[in-house]
């Protein structure tokens, strides 16, 4: 429950509550004396204590030092026409004790004055409606026994006080608490519809029918006040607690006024039976809608929480999906880069031997489908071992990179130029026959020989290559056979003195 007892200056709203609670207490006392007491003196319902309890729940215990004296003064003002000053003060003191006890019990169990959950309704019914009036009924009944007919059993006075006060707290405390809430508490999640207003209109209509009934009958048909219960339930199922509390108060007080004014809404009963029937009606017509309203409020709150949780989960799911897509794209890009790196020679940046064979397989598959010509060129750098031995492997790496760059510059986009191994290179040339492959090989040979390779410190090396060329035969050709023939042509080029291009037969 909200901690309203923390010392702080009174707000304007709280000052208004301090002023209105004693007025409500006085009005309740006058109403209780004049409208809820049977001619023989039996009180059906006592409303004023609900105002003091509501004030304490709204303002906290520190307000008791202001509210209790003011409400005691209101009690005396309302009771003086009927009781002496001493008796009025005694009754007022007992009523103040009842409200303070109810407030203390509710505060001890963490009661929420909005009555928005079944647990809070249960606490209110047991402690404020059940326990507190019973404890005040013990001294209150003793006062009645001294003032009234001593032939009435003491326990009967206890029952009259207990039930009257309990029903007053039950009917009017939720009403005062509801009236003190802001306008937001009177609204609900979805807009009101015509059917809602129709149900609410049944409240005054049912009261008119009740006033028109006589001795529990209307137009010759039975009409008991319990028939108003479905109306209260209908209101509780469609409206928030503030509206429900107003409807319950109207239904309960109208039945009591009709009964105390000499009508017989429950049929022809003895005075005692009529009082019991009225109290049973008030108990039912208040507890059922109050509990139903709290239950539905709890369900609506849980549904709103569920919807918020579902929306949050959907948002998190969308965020997760976006992250997964982003991570998947990143992994795909990284995987593609890894695959690309796995297919490249790290020194020259050309395709490696693995990539060469993949491209060669794809080229052979394309040749088989479309009968296109295909050639293979194998290249070997002449005397490369001597370069490494004389100048070191760093210079050897420079030579490999320079040769690779120059050959890549004159290769066609559709050709696959790869580092075949060590100082060997290979070219898969598609859409060319042997003569076309020879022209490509000559360009490769020439571009390497055109200029020496700069190796630093103003030095350069003249580099040459030996080239073997083979093309697929029209009748039969596979990769192994093509590599073998190109390798034989390369061998003849090196055997013939190197720095030459040799064609396979």
Instruction: Tell me which residues are annotated as active site.
Output: 423
Partners of 381 in the beta sheet? 465
Query: How many helices and strands (H and E) does the chain possess?
Result: 16, 9
- Can you tell me the distance from the alpha carbon of 358 to that of 494, in angstroms, rounded to the nearest whole number? 28
Question: HEC string of 293-309?
Answer: HHHHHHHHHHHHHHHHH
- Can you tell me the distance from the alpha carbon of 114 to that of 498, in angstroms, rounded to the nearest whole number? 102
Neighbour order of strands in the sheet with 374-381 = 416-421, 424-430, 374-381, 465-471, 501-503
CA 484 to centroid of chain Cα atoms: 70
Radius of gyration of the chain (CA): 51
Tell which residue, 364, 375, 373, has the closest CA to residue 438. 375
SS3 394: helix
SS3 119: helix
- Can you tell me the distance from the alpha carbon of 480 to that of 10, in angstroms, rounded to the nearest whole number? 100
- Can you tell me the distance from the alpha carbon of 243 to that of 221, in angstroms, rounded to the nearest whole number? 30
Tell which residue, 172, 292, 274, has the closest CA to residue 233. 292
Question: HEC string of 427-494?
Answer: EEEECCCHHHHHHHHHHHHHHHHCCCEEEECCEEECCCEEEEEEECCCCCCCHHHHHHHHHHHHHHHH
Whole-angstrom CA distances from 263 to 254, 270, 341, 354, 356 are 12, 12, 101, 107, 109
For 470, phi then psi, to 5°, come to -140, 145
SS3 378: strand
Contact indicator for 98, 136 with CB cutoff of 8 Å: yes
Tell which residue, 356, 322, 330, 299, has the closest CA to residue 483. 356
First vs last Cα of the chain: how many Å apart? 101
Where helices occur in 343-433 by DSSP H, the ranges are 353-370, 384-391, 393-410
Residue 239: exposure state from Cβ atoms within 10 A (0-12, 13-18, ≥19): buried
Partners of 376 in the beta sheet? 428, 470
For 417, phi then psi, to 5°, come to -100, 125
């Amino acid at each position: 429950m909200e901690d309203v007892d923390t010392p702080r200056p009174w707000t304007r709203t709280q000052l208004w509550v301090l002023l209105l609670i004693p007025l409500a207490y006085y009005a309740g006392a006058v109403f209780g004396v004049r409208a809820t007491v049977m001619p023989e003196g039996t009180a059906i319902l006592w409303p004023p204590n609900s105002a003091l309890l509501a004030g304490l729940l709204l303002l906290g215990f520190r307000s008791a030092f202001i509210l209790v004296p003011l409400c005691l003064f209101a009690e005396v003002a309302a009771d003086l026409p009927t009781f002496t000053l001493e008796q009025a003060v005694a009754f007022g003191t007992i009523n103040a004790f009842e409200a303070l006890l109810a407030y203390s019990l509710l505060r001890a169990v963490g009661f929420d004055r909005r009555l928005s959950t079944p647990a809070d309704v249960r606490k209110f019914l047991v402690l404020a409606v059940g326990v507190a009036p019973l404890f005040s009924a013990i001294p209150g009944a003793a006062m009645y026994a001294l003032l009234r007919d001593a032939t009435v059993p003491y326990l009967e006075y206890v029952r009259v006080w207990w039930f009257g006060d309990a029903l007053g707290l039950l009917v009017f405390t939720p009403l005062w608490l509801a009236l003190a809430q802001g306008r937001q508490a009177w609204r609900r999640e979805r807009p009101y519809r015509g059917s809602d207003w129709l149900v609410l209109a049944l409240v005054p209509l049912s009261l008119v029918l009740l006033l028109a009934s006589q001795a529990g009958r209307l137009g010759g048909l039975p009409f008991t006040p319990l028939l108003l219960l479905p109306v209260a339930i209908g209101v509780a199922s469609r409206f928030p607690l503030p509206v429900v509390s107003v409807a319950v108060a109207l239904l309960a007080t109208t039945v009591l006024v009709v009964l105390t004014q000499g009508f017989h809404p429950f049929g022809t009963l003895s005075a005692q039976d009529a009082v019991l029937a009225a109290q049973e009606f008030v108990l039912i017509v208040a507890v059922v809608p109050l509990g139903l309203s709290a239950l539905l409020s709890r369900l609506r709150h849980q549904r709103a929480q569920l919807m918020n949780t579902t929306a949050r989960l959907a948002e998190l799911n969308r965020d997760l999906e976006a992250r997964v897509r982003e991570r998947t794209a990143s992994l795909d890009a990284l995987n593609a880069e890894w695959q690309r790196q796995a297919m490249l020679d790290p020194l020259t940046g050309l395709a490696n031997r693995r990539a060469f064979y993949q491209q060669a397989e794809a080229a052979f598959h394309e040749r088989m489908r479309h009968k296109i010509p295909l050639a293979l060129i194998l290249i070997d750098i002449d005397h490369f071992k001597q370069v490494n031995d004389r100048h070191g492997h760093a210079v050897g790496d420079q030579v490999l990179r320079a040769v690779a760059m120059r050959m890549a510059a004159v290769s066609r986009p559709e050709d696959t130029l790869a580092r075949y191994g060590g100082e060997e290179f290979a070219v898969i040339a598609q859409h060319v026959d042997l003569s076309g492959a020879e022209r490509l090989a000559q360009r490769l040979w020439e571009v390497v020989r055109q200029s020496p390779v700069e190796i630093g410190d103003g030095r350069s090396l003249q580099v040459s290559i030996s080239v073997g060329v083979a093309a697929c035969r029209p009748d039969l050709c596979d990769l192994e056979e093509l590599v073998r023939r190109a390798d034989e042509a390369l061998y003849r080029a090196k055997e013939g003195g190197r720095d030459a291009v040799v064609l396979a037969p």
